[in-house]
Structure 1
Amino acid sequence: MAHIHLIGVPLDLGGGRRGVDMGPSAVRIAGIGTRLTALGHHVQDRGDILTPTPETREAGDPKKRYVREIHDVCEALYAQALDSHAAGAFPIVIGGDHSLAAGSVAASATHAKRQGRPLGLIWVDAHADMNTPATTGSGNVHGMPLAALLGEDPRELALVGGYQPKVAPGHTVLVGIRNLDEREKEEVRASGVHVFTMKDIDRQGAASVIEQAIEIAGRDTAGIHVSFDLDVCDPAIAPGVGTPVRGGLNYREAHMAMEILSDARRIIALDLVEVNPVLDHQNMTAVLAAELAASALGQKIL
């Protein structure tokens, strides 16, 4: 059984719709700790990373709004998650918007680096999050963290932890993509990352796609960091997200992906991000996040 650290990141600076700062509380209320404890894991809630609110800060550069504040939060998360790895724990980071991954994935990358091997990354999301300040139409930094992790701009996030890049394109897999900006499509094509769109999932099946993703991200790596944006799921099962897009993973596809990841025994960290209780119905998206964490950590049907 695993020693699990829950780390809340009520980060609400990276997107255009308010409310994800309440995501960590909602997922806790949905019973993530109780569900994981029931599986026999030792769960320690490490509390929340201190995060400023937009009302207390100036947005700054309109092409990368609040990037300095987001950088500071990601550095704090990096230190906390790295401590968890060093203690032999499995960090589950609860967001908060997806820009937090610049800190959580950086910690996993450093942990892998200390073992002399690269990190594998599976980015489960409706969006690629590979915009940069040069390509963004909104200036929302939650659309940029994967670009930063691959060593691109925004530089403030790319340098979290003091080095770049954190992951190599050959070990990075995007799953569930279905909503890309036109300029972002060019960035994704040129990057060399592996992409499985919802069309691929429709044609090949979710099980086949996630098995391929594990093989790619797990090949000659120290382990796999899974960064899961709840908007990858269809709004019918996950309405409480800031950027819902119809045509996403259904309930069983999402759980099957997590169950197969669990069976592979290669995951070393998990992000659950973009839960927005303001837009949710009876906390169902937070409940889904808690359930998916349990599936990723070994809950079986039989």
Structure 2
Amino acid sequence: MNPIIVATDFSEVAENAVEYAAAVAKHNDAKLILYNSFVIPTHAANTLLPAASIQKLITDNEIRLIERALTISIDYDIEVEHESDLSFVQDALKSLIEKHQAALVVLGMNTKTLEQDLWGNTTTSAIKRLNLPVMAVPLGAHFEGTKNVLFACDVLSGISEKVLANIKELAIALNAEVEVFNVNEKVEELKIHASLPEVSAIDDGLEGISYYYKNVNSNAVIKEIEKEIIDFQADLLIMVPKRYGFWSSIVHRSKTRIMASGLKIPLLSLPIS
């Protein structure tokens, strides 16, 4: 597996995501890239500190990152590299993805707040902007194997071959069962739509792994997904965020973003293309 990138600001949520990413890297025999976007503390930025003092803050942060990378490498017996800069996180992640040909970006996810719901945060912004799988890991989530994967989607809108290939590859790697969960107020049970090309495409794309469909007739998509996570005892939720233009994004609040900020299990967001 190509390298996994995980970002940390050394907060509790971010460090939990680091542990999760390290365990995933261990499971997949992958290299881990530990990234930190250094931010000059507010009290330092608001004072006229000499350049030497600012450089010391940067150096101390670099040392802390090196020590963390070494600890992870020893604890999980994996190869760990570290990267740090003063760039915006999204810009830096794009560069790191290209530099390391990464397969996955892992970020911590804070608990749900109204501000996050409306405007998002670093993690939800990465989900929106990065053309790579992004995993949002909530505090308290630990990787102990993944047996039940819930893929929440709008079946009748169609699902790309690449998305299906990614899900199949993941299921094989984890020896996991996949539930394709569709919430739609306009259709009946998917089994009576088995002849539809959208359903046939899923059958072709997921052939060879253990999966099944479940459909719920409802207009309360978020609530139904939350309920199904519990009923299915899901270890991982997969969603594919839709792309909206500027004006549409003001009207539409991304269901992927909302789910990412309110889960107790990791959310894996797969890009459309």
TM over 0.5, yes or no? no
TM-score of the superposed pair, with normalisation by structure 2: 0.38
Find the structure with the greater CA-based Rg.
2
TM-score, normalised on structure 1? 0.35
